[in-house]
Amino acid sequence: MKHYKTEEWIDFARGLIEEKAKSLMQSHLETGCRECTKEARFWQRVSQTARRENAVEPPGDAIRVAKSLMATAGYAGKTARKSTLAELLFDSRRTPLPAGVRSATANARQMLYGSGNHRIDLRLEPQLDSDGIEIVGQILDSSSPEQGLKGVQVSLYSGKKMIAVSQTSQLGEFQISSKIDENLELRILLPQGREVRLGLIEPRIESVKRSPYPTDKKEDIRTRGSGRKPVKRSD
């Protein structure tokens, strides 16, 4: 008795053979060949399972978590990728205080980076009463500013270790929470697989509390503006 090959039963189970050949194989099964019947039933079950799997759509949250875990474990980005440093175009920390302002308090830091046609707007917000920081940003293409860059991967590194990952929304916006660290670096995977690194972000913002007058304790501030010589206090 002729037995059919495994490859033929796989095609039979998947419905990929011609009607004439299918009829002959079905007749062969009806003769009671136990070996071929076992083979055919096995591949029919495999085919049915595969069809059911294709019909199942995993939740979006589960997909994002899986991608994050794979990226953190080092499975993402295995192919060699050329990275470029983005240019710092604006930093609110470097902006001088307006005339007449003599004091400032720790606050959010605004930064703007550029790389080619892309602009990355960042806002670093230290959390009160904690060592945490919120990194809020938006990525735009200056050649098409009306179109947001959706689904762009944004990874936060501390040294060589990835500590968080996010993806941009429909408007190209993203948000990442982290602890304050002097070695934080953002890596953004732009379209066409180009990776941009945002240098070393140093989010520590020291409070600057200044007295409106010099802090020399031996000068009596009441003499200021009077034209008299300073009066030495007898501390």
Ranges of each domain in the chain:
6-55, 62-197
Kind and range of the H or E run holding 157: strand 153-158
* Contact assessment for residue 172 and residue 148, using Cβ atoms and an 8 Å cutoff: yes
Give me the pLDDT at residue 225, please: 45
* Mean pLDDT, residues 138-161: 87
Residue 224, pLDDT above cutoff 70 = no
Tokens for 79, please give them.
């192919």
What CA–CA distance (Å, rounded) separates 176 from 14? 46
Give me the pLDDT at residue 73, please: 54
Tokens for 9, please give them.
């039963």
Query: pTM above 0.85?
Result: no
* Contact assessment for residue 150 and residue 170, using Cβ atoms and an 8 Å cutoff: yes
pLDDT digits (tens, 9 = 90+) for 74-95: 555 445 567 888 998 998 887 6
* Mean pLDDT, residues 156-185: 88
Give me the pLDDT at residue 132, please: 86
Task: Choose from 47-51, 112-116, 181-185 the range with maximum mean pLDDT.
Answer: 112-116
Kind and range of the H or E run holding 42: helix 34-55
Whole-number average pLDDT of the chain: 77
Between residues 73 and 217, the one the model is more confident about: 73
The pLDDT-based confidence of 133 (bands split at 50, 70, 90) is: confident
Residue 136, pLDDT above cutoff 80 = yes
Give me the pLDDT at residue 107, please: 74
Tokens for 70, please give them.
């794979």
The pLDDT-based confidence of 70 (bands split at 50, 70, 90) is: low
Q: Render the burial of 178-188: b for 16+ CB within 10 Å, e for the rest.
A: bebbeebbbbb
Tokens for 115, please give them.
């790389």
Q: What does the radius of gyration of the chain's CA atoms come to, in whole angstroms?
A: 33
Residue 175, pLDDT above cutoff 70 = yes
What CA–CA distance (Å, rounded) separates 8 from 190? 46
* Dihedrals phi, psi of 38, to nearest 5 degrees: -65, -40
pLDDT digits (tens, 9 = 90+) for 95-116: 665 555 554 445 788 999 999 8
Residue 221, pLDDT above cutoff 50 = no
Which of 180, 137, 185, 182 minimizes the C-alpha distance to 161? 185
Which of 16, 40, 38 minimizes the C-alpha distance to 26? 40
Can you tell me which residue has the tokens 């069809």?
51
Q: Parallel, antiparallel, or unpaired for β 109-115 and 118-126? A: antiparallel
* Mean pLDDT, residues 138-166: 88
* Mean pLDDT, residues 36-46: 91
pLDDT exceeding 70 applies to what percent of the chain? 71
Taking CA atoms, 118 is separated from 69, 166, 174, 175, 189, in Å, by 28, 18, 15, 18, 12
